A and B are shown apart, each in its own frame.
Chain A
Amino acid sequence: MTDCGSITGTVSLAHGDGGELTHRLISDLFLRYFRDEALQPLNDAALLPAQCGLLALTTDSFVVKPLFFPGGNIGTLAVNGTVNDLAVSGARPLYLTVGLILEEGLPLPVLEEVIAALAAAASEAGVAIVAGDTKVVERGHGDQIYINTTGLGLVAGNIDLGCHRVRPGDVIICSGAVGDHGLAVLAARENFGLEGLKSDCAALHTLILPLLENFPGAVKWLRDPTRGGLATTIKELALSAQVDIILSEEAIPVHDSVRGGAEILGLDYLYLANEGKFCAVVDRVAAEDVLAFLRRHPLSCEAALVGEIKEGSGRAFLRTALGATRELYLLSGQQLPRIC
């Protein structure tokens, strides 16, 4: 019989051997939270109705430390990260698979909390978890929980996003303040005692799909600036579209807590990761309307026009508040907090 109370104990190697304990983990824990029909038969593969249009498929692995941080946890991240990769490709996210690698000794209540968060994030995002896998590694051979999610989505026929559409004269819009996730996770991991930080972890398709519907053609390119932050994303765009991009430091939204915290630690917020923001290249003519549209949505009420595309050869620049121009590059190695 399924135990409906909270689960106790720790993960052991037997939870991953495919035998009785694996079975109990699936029925007592996973199926309590993952309730999609396609998953219930527990077949070797999920059978999904064929769809017409372009399929978008993406996969990502999540190894964040600590597992829980202000504004989210590894479970919400594993859903939203993959959903956002689909959304910025113009796809409606439909299905997710979840692969778990658990470290022996992980308390089961911790696993339960992550699974519950994962299931809640998926249901909030309206995506179905349709397949999964669990492995257990020996203690010391993993870091509590690693999660891989693969997402499948559907792109409507009229959507054409990509750097091939980016032209000099277009503008860059950022959907909100940058650096929240990167600094919140770092601060939670290292216990820096910084206040007011919270990850922006969120699923963006409820914002992006209506945007694409309302401004067909005007939105030309989309990307979520995760690792490497806004600066790296913009530099990548400049390189792949072979244009120059100029960002304005004063126009880039950033919360005071992030600006201050990054300054104390000697980090550049332009290179900090985001998990609930996107950058868009938009036709200048539509920019004001796009901004007005975005600012009505709670996930993008701080949206701003942050830069413009120029003729060029793949360079990205920041015009600083003092009126100087400095070049932006791809993040080169991890940013380390300073010593002195």
Chain B
Amino acid sequence: METWSTNHQKELTARLLVRVKSLAAAIAGKLGRRPVIMEVCGTHTVALARTGLRSLLAGCIDLRSGPGCPVCVTAPEEIDYMLCLARQPGVIIATFGDMVRVPGSSGSLEKARIEGCQIQVCYSPREAVTLARSNPDREVVFLGIGFETTAPAVGLAVKEAAALSLKNFSIYSAHKLVPPALATLAADPDLKLDGLLLPGHVSAILGRRAFTFLAREYNLPAAIAGFDALDILGALLELLLQIQKGEAQVNNAYPRVVSETGNHKAQEILREVFSLAPANWRGLGLIPLSGLKLNTAYEAFDASHRWRLELKPAPPPAGCLCGSVLKGLCLPPQCALFGRRCTPLRPVGPCMVSSEGSCAAYYRYAREAG
């Protein structure tokens, strides 16, 4: 049913769209090219495609997708480690569903399940704790994938396992932190970003202040955005206004959810359970202090301590441009495998698997874009 508010919202969105387009055109005139804006959140990537915003803005803004999907940024060697864990006798792997189909150098978890390995899809890390309790004679390993948004829930699961003195539960922490990755992108001379659309969910945990270094140290305009068309357009407008004025700030265009200093309780859990560690990102390489490993107090729940597996570094799948896609250096349809050898049913790279992956979003919503 149409209500006053939906009508009002529609009108507002249409007006914002006109403003964003004309401002972007003015900037393009000045720069001699379209302004380059990166969205660093998989949910934004999907929302831009689903609402049609990406195609509406195609002529005015050069929108690039960044490393905003936790599954996609998981490095090939981390995937191989997970596969190797799955093949250890007596192990049950508990994981989010997206991970099951990501290919590593010796197949995927899905393939491992067909071989007879036990892979259990969970929707919350605490389910994995329950799984460990009901399988006392097995080792349950939860695959900890995700950013600041998921890590606190994994932290809680670890605390719960510790409180229960569970001996057969551990996590493999492949968590990644968003701000260090953004610093890497901001410093990349090949990228020439004019602005960053910051992730609403991660910002809700970290708070606006955690991103101010982007403006301060890299002179890069940024705006935190929510997830509907109105939210995204509002944030884009703020970004474009900054770019036009030649300013660099970090705007909070999602104040109904994101505060200045974020969610203290979640931050507290992160500090208590994890400490910072270097992390290997697909596409971006090794970034210092951009990952989370379990604190010494919780080391007993660290799967990488329990299974010290020697693995050779894994090359990315041949022909896959996931690395460049994640850095915003190319768009998914520019990969020669896109839609041909690589589809959601037979993915070559993780960007085609995850519901948040850029390649999957393009495949689902704009297959002919390239």
Contact = CB atoms under 8 A, between A and B. Distances in A.
Interface of A: 190-192, 263, 266-268, 320-327, 329, 332-333, 335-340
Contacts of B367: 327, 329
A332 B361 CA distance: 12
B172 interface: no
Given A324-B56, A326-B50, A338 B364 contact: no
Which of A263, A326, A332, A339 has the most chain B CB atoms closer than 10 A to its own CB? A339
B58 to A, nearest CB: 10
Given A322-B52, A333-B345, A339 B365 contact: no
A339 B150 contact: yes
B345 A340 contact: no
A197 to B, nearest CB: 15
A340 B123 contact: no
B270 interface: no
A320 B146 contact: no
B201 A340 contact: yes
B195 interface: no
A335 B366 contact: no
Interface of B: 10, 13-14, 17, 41-43, 46, 49-53, 55-56, 69-71, 96-98, 101, 123, 145-147, 149-150, 201-202, 227, 229, 343-345, 354-356, 363-368
Given A190-B123, A192-B123, A340 B56 contact: no
Contact of B145 (A268, A327, A333, A339): A339
B158 to A, nearest CB: 17
A326 B149 contact: no
A266 B46 contact: yes
A322 B56 contact: yes
A320 B51 contact: yes
B51 A339 contact: no
Contacts of A190: 123
A339 B123 CA distance: 8
Given A192-B123, A266-B356, A322 B229 contact: yes
Nearest to B346: A333
B51 A322 contact: yes
Contacts of A340: 41-43, 69-70, 146-147, 149-150, 201-202, 356
Contacts of B123: 190-192, 337
Contact of B365 (A266, A326, A333, A336): A326
A201 B43 CA distance: 31
A332 B70 contact: no
Contacts of B56: 322-324
B149 A332 contact: no
Given A322-B56, A322-B229, A336 B97 contact: yes
Contacts of A267: 355
Which of B41, B101, B355, B356 has the most chain A CB atoms closer than 10 A to its own CB? B355
B275 to A, nearest CB: 21
B168 to A, nearest CB: 21
> Chain A's interface: helix, strand, loop or mixed, by majority?
loop
Contacts of B97: 336-337
B49 A326 contact: yes
B181 to A, nearest CB: 14
A323 B11 CA distance: 12
A321 B14 CA distance: 10
A261 B343 CA distance: 26
Given A266-B46, A332-B363, A340-B146, A324 B355 contact: no
A338 B367 CA distance: 21
A191 B100 CA distance: 20
A336 B355 contact: yes
Nearest to A192: B123
A35 to B, nearest CB: 41
Given A322-B17, A327-B367, A338 B43 contact: yes
Given A322-B17, A325-B52, 6 more contacts: A268-B364, A329-B363, A332-B364, A336-B354, A338-B98, A340-B43
B364 A324 contact: no
Nearest to A186: B123
A257 B367 CA distance: 29
Nearest to A332: B344
Contact of B55 (A192, A324, A333, A337): A324
A323 B18 CA distance: 12
A340 B96 CA distance: 11
A312 B46 CA distance: 27
Contact of A332 (B146, B147, B343, B354): B343
Contacts of A325: 52, 55
Contacts of B364: 268, 329, 332
Nearest to A231: B364
Given A340-B146, A340-B147, A326 B356 contact: no
A266 B355 contact: yes
B44 to A, nearest CB: 11
9 contacts: A322-B13, A324-B55, A327-B367, A329-B364, A332-B363, A336-B355, A339-B96, A340-B70, A340-B146
A324 B46 contact: no
A320 B17 CA distance: 14
A152 to B, nearest CB: 35
B355 A335 contact: yes
A324 B70 contact: no
Nearest to B147: A340
A84 B187 CA distance: 59
B366 A326 contact: yes
Contacts of A336: 97-98, 354-355
A338 B17 contact: no
Contacts of A324: 51-53, 55-56
Contacts of B363: 329, 332
A321 B10 contact: yes
B150 A327 contact: no
* Leading 4 A-B pairs by shortest Cβ distance: A324-B52, A320-B52, A333-B344, A332-B344
A92 to B, nearest CB: 35
A243 B367 CA distance: 19
B200 to A, nearest CB: 10
A51 B306 CA distance: 70
Contacts of A327: 365-368
Contacts of B149: 340
A217 to B, nearest CB: 32
Nearest to B9: A321
Nearest to A320: B52
Contacts of A335: 355
